Structure 1
């Protein structure tokens, strides 16, 4: 018996044609008979937020090939050789389930076993961990993709000037990466009208994935507003340095309005509570200030608060309207000085209708669909769909040239 599951993709922002994906599943077999519809890989963005080229959201799944691809984690992740995955005893399906894409279990396997280097279709290297360059260059195969993986900004990156013609793909938070590994994945949200959401629901029904999908509160009650009684704005900061000068910025802003700093650089949150949840309930605004002002660098400072009943104030070098509507956040770069920013925040705090309008975008979104390493699922998809030869001539130039800026200089 063959079960037909149809997934229709909407036209992307790059005007790529809409593709009808047909996945044929044999219920009595572990194999999937796939009709190859359009093998040519096309990078597309979603018509829903976030407008990122996340492959599992936007790619033509009917183009996947039967042969399973092997992904080798070439080194550790901050010393963790397993990358937090059960790669020794877990099956490919279990591993892909850990990554929140169990539907790819028949198409990719993940290993940390360096003895399988020659078998690997892709080798992912985390640039903050040691890489055995000699062994890699000696044993690499022509078909293999070496993947540059990094979640840190350039100021916190080791010297990579020697990496010329070594990598084939990039997996970083940059929008122009081959695989976008945004911090969004740790606190991902998807629209309930999206094809991917409907597909997840079908997969959950068929395979009991135990999805923990959550709705954010987009209609704050009077009681919730009354509980915001500790102040206007707060920040949670553990790195007291940083190239962005965010602590200096906040201290100058404190001369114009009340701002409380929590974390290692300020006050401690109450014991046995989630600090972001605490701030979200007790304050009106959360200062989502990055430690580096680098192209597209957007971390959990922004994404981790979106599920909470608080408005993010952003300070970074990225287009935040890629992630959520501009009506859902306040960008400090829109103001000319501290006085103007403070006056606006005070005005919004006491304008109930205006304040509540910042939450309306959340109405049709759900959270809980992925985790930090879910972009590895995109590596899997791209291995199947993109056979175009690619060698990055100068990794250092791509990563470091003209990508970061100095702190914003404001009049007091």
Structure 2
């Protein structure tokens, strides 16, 4: 048997060698093709750590700008209709959107979704001088799994970044709070009794039980001190992913809005949806994560309490209607909404803005500049081990 195995592998040695050489050459050619145009670049002095600015921008004045969605969105989600809807919803600037790759010659912006930059889906061969290549990202570093993107995309291939981070070219958070108009402020309406509508204590919706932030482990411990109804794959209750879920969760006084990662500027729709349900969000934010437009006294950060003290604090608020309603005083001055795609209107506005300088971003160094851990194969196992022993 051993001699047969040796004979078999001896026969396969040359074909395997040729396959290895072929794979190496393909990767080398991809790298060479995408890096070659950047080797001669002299980086300007008026630049920051990740973004490099240039004096001349090839701006084309057009009444309507065209956005080409080059990649998919989380591989199979149709995002063309969502982008088109956002651009047509009271957006003061005119932009069209397409996924037709033959429109590359006329596109003003080419949009790439980070987690769909697979090495076999290479960038366009054509690039007009006025074209802006935009990197779009909605996931924090612990969930930015590797797609082989560095094999096909140079670190300097993109001009703009478009994400939830506050240091993006186009800042697109998962939600917004904004001051009411003067007309709305002049209309004096008394705040309703929010406590009157609440009959349950705290809800949580968690489906990823082994995330980077350890949400499920924390909630399991917190349940020893205060009642929590847990929905999703990590709990024993279900909440449909449609409008009916809001009706199920609305009677709760508090809503767990823990993020799966504690990263720079990362605040997902969980916080904004809790505000819309008129529940007090319980958050697990680090300082770099706090949204700049979070309404004052609208949430409770669990990091400011020991667990048992937190449970007592929640009990005191729940039993005092005046104190509970004080967490909604912000509604006199502010409105809040969730919705990631609304900010495509910002992208459209930027395309019409001639004053934005020509620039390129080292997207790999920009992504790595964060306060949280990054995705690795070992991190997947580490999370599962932590969850097992929690």
Aligned length: 307
| Separation of aligned partners in 2, 1:341 and 1:238 | 23
Give the structure 2 partner of residue 262 of structure 1. Answer: 231
| Separation of aligned partners in 2, 1:251 and 1:86 | 36
Aligned to 1:68, which of 64, 71, 88?
Answer: 64
| Separation of aligned partners in 2, 1:269 and 1:81 | 23
Give the structure 2 partner of residue 156 of structure 1. Answer: 143
Aligned to 2:299, which of 316, 329, 336?
Answer: 329
Aligned to 1:193, which of 171, 181, 184?
Answer: 181
More moved, 138-147 vs 96-105: 96-105
1:166 deviates by: 0.9
Q: Does 1:340 align with 2:309?
A: yes
1:340 deviates by: 1.8
Residues 114 and 329 (structure 1), Cα distance of their counterparts in 2 relative to 1, 3 Å cut: same
| Separation of aligned partners in 1, 2:356 and 2:291 | 32
Residues 152 and 256 (structure 1), Cα distance of their counterparts in 2 relative to 1, 3 Å cut: same
1:84 deviates by: 4.2
Q: Does 1:79 align with 2:75?
A: yes
Deviations 1:102-143 (A, max 9, x none): 4323xx221111001121111110112145788535311222
Q: Which has the larger radius of gyration?
A: 2
Aligned to 2:133, which of 146, 149, 157?
Answer: 146
1:79 deviates by: 2.9
| Separation of aligned partners in 2, 1:302 and 1:259 | 17
Contact persistence 2:158–2:360 (CA under 8 A): yes
More moved, 264-273 vs 110-119: 264-273
Structure 2: stretches of 5+ with no match in the other structure: 1-59, 375-382, 384-389
Contact persistence 2:317–2:323 (CA under 8 A): yes
- Helix, strand or coil for the counterpart of 1:391? strand
Contact persistence 2:272–2:336 (CA under 8 A): no
Give the structure 2 partner of residue 166 of structure 1. Answer: 157
Residues 371 and 99 (structure 1), Cα distance of their counterparts in 2 relative to 1, 3 Å cut: farther
Give the structure 2 partner of residue 10 of structure 1. Answer: none
Q: 1:117-266 maps to which residues of 2 (within 5 A)?
A: 117-130=104-117, 136=123, 138-159=125-146, 160-161=149-150, 163-184=154-175, 188=176, 190-193=178-181, 219-220=192-193, 223-225=196-198, 228=199, 230=200, 232-266=201-235
Q: Does 1:291 align with 2:287?
A: no
Query: Root-mean-square deviation (CA), in Å?
Result: 3.3
Aligned to 1:100, which of 81, 86, 89?
Answer: 89
- Helix, strand or coil for the counterpart of 2:230? strand
- Normalized per residue, the structure richer in helix is 2
1:349 deviates by: 1.2
Residues 79 and 402 (structure 1), Cα distance of their counterparts in 2 relative to 1, 3 Å cut: closer
Residues 133 and 170 (structure 1), Cα distance of their counterparts in 2 relative to 1, 3 Å cut: farther
| Separation of aligned partners in 1, 2:86 and 2:332 | 27
1:273 deviates by: 7.0
With normalisation by structure 2, the TM-score equals 0.70
Contact persistence 1:166–1:391 (CA under 8 A): yes
- Helix, strand or coil for the counterpart of 2:267? coil
| Separation of aligned partners in 1, 2:137 and 2:239 | 33
Q: Does 1:380 align with 2:348?
A: yes
Contact persistence 2:275–2:336 (CA under 8 A): no
| Separation of aligned partners in 2, 1:301 and 1:86 | 20
1:311 deviates by: 0.4
- Helix, strand or coil for the counterpart of 1:136? coil
| Separation of aligned partners in 2, 1:382 and 1:284 | 40
Contact persistence 2:111–2:133 (CA under 8 A): yes
| Separation of aligned partners in 2, 1:75 and 1:146 | 12
1:399 deviates by: 0.7
Aligned to 1:116, which of 103, 126, 133?
Answer: 103
With normalisation by structure 1, the TM-score equals 0.66
| Separation of aligned partners in 2, 1:84 and 1:240 | 31
